[in-house]
Structure 1
Amino acid sequence: MHPDECIDCGVCEPECPADAISDDTCDDAQKWIDINREYAEKWPNINKMGTRPSDSDDWKDVKGKFEKHFSPNPGKGS
């Protein structure tokens, strides 16, 4: 979500199964705001619901996912 387009309505929070959406006042918020701004401008918008990955629960509590697995390339979609 582009941080300049977010209206802080909270609708996305219950939709995120990993509880990965946090308030913009948390300690490392600026890091994530900057990342979201950059990639929201580069990547295409998601405009339809996809299929949840079958191993998503396995990844929920894994630490360092961004540092180890992030790719600046957009996904191919489903």
Structure 2
Amino acid sequence: MPFVVTESCVACKHTDCVDVCPMDCFVEGPNFVAIDPEGCIDCSVCVPECPVDAIVNATDVTEAQRPYIALNAQFARDPAWRPITSRKPPLPDHARWQAVSPKRHLIELP
């Protein structure tokens, strides 16, 4: 089962995870990154790189995180969500949003 990016990433968009992905399976929108479940090889190297613990195995998601399985797959197929293979700075106000929940409604579409 692939890994998924969950709510903690919304409005923070730390991208430390993309630097270590051997399959380059991350895509980015304006304020969120997602993992392409078709490309993810379940290696888990991205998990410890996320400073907000946003990446989890799809088999371990909580009920609140469950919608992110479908969202990651949806965004990975959307051509407006572009591949990202190298780290960028987090969003300028990421610290403000880190502990906010719920945030799914804040995901911006390209």
TM-score, normalization: structure 2? 0.57
| Aligned counterpart, 2:47 | 13
When the two chains are superposed, the root-mean-square deviation of aligned CA atoms in Å is: 1.7
Once residues 88 and 104 of structure 2 are traced to their aligned partners in structure 1, the CA distance between those partners, rounded to angstroms, is 21
1:27 aligns with 2:65: no
User: What stretches of structure 1 of length at least 5 have no aligned partner?
Assistant: 74-78
How far off its partner does 1:30 sit? 4.3
The alignment-based identity, stated in percent, is 33
Higher helix share: 1
User: What stretches of structure 2 of length at least 5 have no aligned partner?
Assistant: 1-34
| Aligned counterpart, 2:109 | 72
Once residues 11 and 36 of structure 1 are traced to their aligned partners in structure 2, the CA distance between those partners, rounded to angstroms, is 18
1:52 aligns with 2:90: yes
* Offset from partner CA, 1:21-65 (integer Å, 9 cap, x none): 122122335421211111112111012221123422221110011
Point out which structure has higher relative CO (alpha carbons under 8 A, 6+ apart).
2
Larger Rg: 1
Secondary structure at the aligned position of 1:22 is classed as: strand
TM-score, normalization: structure 1? 0.75
1:3 to 37, 40, 45: 37
Higher strand share: 2
